[in-house]
Structure 1
């Protein structure tokens, strides 16, 4: 079992405290350890009582609530998510964008490895890795990082357009090769570019359908809150972070 307690026993429970009680962030109450089978490195996430600043504070898997129907914020991915949040904070504290980018690339790979070792389904694990990696490139990769994200979105639109047009003429499917070929110049980031593009093309429409069903319900909730004297904005929690709140990847 890859995750262990501080004294080397297999991790059979993840001790978290919800702070505040109605919030969406959790504090780790007992340290956890992860042994990476690829590098052989031992990672330790300290308990909140022995940590400082934002360390040992997590929102678990940082999945927006509209996507919880696809990927939950907790479950088999909880321990890898806690580890990834801790490593993301450590990378941000380096104060050097290039060093942080290099560290995050390795940390994101460790996250993917840990997800699979926790028996998270293959597609889900790779999607989670792809989108935390996209955010990493956006934050630390400068203009090239933004270009990678934008190219993924444009490529997904091309794939969708080609798929729709193929109903009238199958030849349009040749356009699918365009984003695939456009990924080649990214070299070692090409697999990430391809996964982002084609996963967005497949999951994007499903997400829009899901949101189309969710939005009316949220509006109904907000209306009831308004009529009853409650807080209409509260129906968005924990999707929207409070202003000035800490961000944990």
Structure 2
């Protein structure tokens, strides 16, 4: 089902207000609704003002600014991202970490389905789902979450090593790249997350590194110009850095 306005009409626009005018956060001016067909549940993202902040506040897709050239913070992913922000805030408000973890796992799957329904390409939707899911495990699963991320890091190293060895030694070394997938199986239902993180990071890592280097060089040049011109060097990193009054806003993504 498509995203809807609260009156049941199709969502033909996203009513957002940029607050502050030079910031990167947005207030949702009217609620939006999403009907999740597989579960039969209706999800609602409340508007700002229905409850104290951060309810109704969103940064759209929580993509680090240096990576906006790869995945934008807005677009077809905007409505799913707004809904996911609302669900993440609700999960963070739960007193029970296990309950919050279970809720987020469900919400993250809804996020992925909503992305695909909005026409977000398969790989991009999978990467966005994997990113929020990894952050969920880190936030709520305690040592298990950190162990999962450590295994992902090791798996990335193994895949990269397999590719390098296949090039410099023998193609048979590519079989080593299967090891992270086999090792992921012991995670059970989380195996797909381990795999979805490991292989894209290994294969797309060089692209991400080049993107970060390019942005880093540009930011360095910007900073030099600010210093020479007597400007404010801190303005170079906005909106990458969060204003102090928003750092504890419950954003779990």
Shorter-chain TM-score range: over 0.9
Deviation of 1:72 after TM superposition, in Å, equals 0.3
Q: TM-score, normalised by structure 1?
A: 0.97
Correspondence for 1:239: 240
Helix, strand or coil at the partner of 1:167: helix
Correspondence for 2:82: 82
Conservation of the 8 A alpha-carbon contact between 2:54 and 2:250:
no
Structure 2, unaligned runs of 5 or more:
none
Alignment of 1:46-125 (within 5 A): 46-125=46-125
- Partners of 1:118 and 1:2 lie apart in 2 by 8
Deviations 1:182-214 (A, max 9, x none): 101101101111111001101211100111222
RMSD: 1.1
Structure 1 stretches of 4+ with a deviation exceeding 3 A read: none
- Partners of 1:233 and 1:166 lie apart in 2 by 45
Correspondence for 1:22: 22
Deviations 1:94-151 (A, max 9, x none): 0210000000000000000100110111111111001100000000011010111111
Deviations 1:23-63 (A, max 9, x none): 11100001111111111111111211323221000000000
Structure 1, unaligned runs of 5 or more:
none
- Name the stretch that deviates more: 169-178 or 179-188: 169-178
- Partners of 1:174 and 1:42 lie apart in 2 by 45
Correspondence for 1:216: 217
Alignment of 1:158-237 (within 5 A): 158-168=158-168, 169-237=170-238
Q: TM-score, normalised by structure 2?
A: 0.95
Helix, strand or coil at the partner of 1:87: helix
Q: Is the aligned partner of 1:13 residue 2:47?
A: no
Q: How many residues align?
A: 249
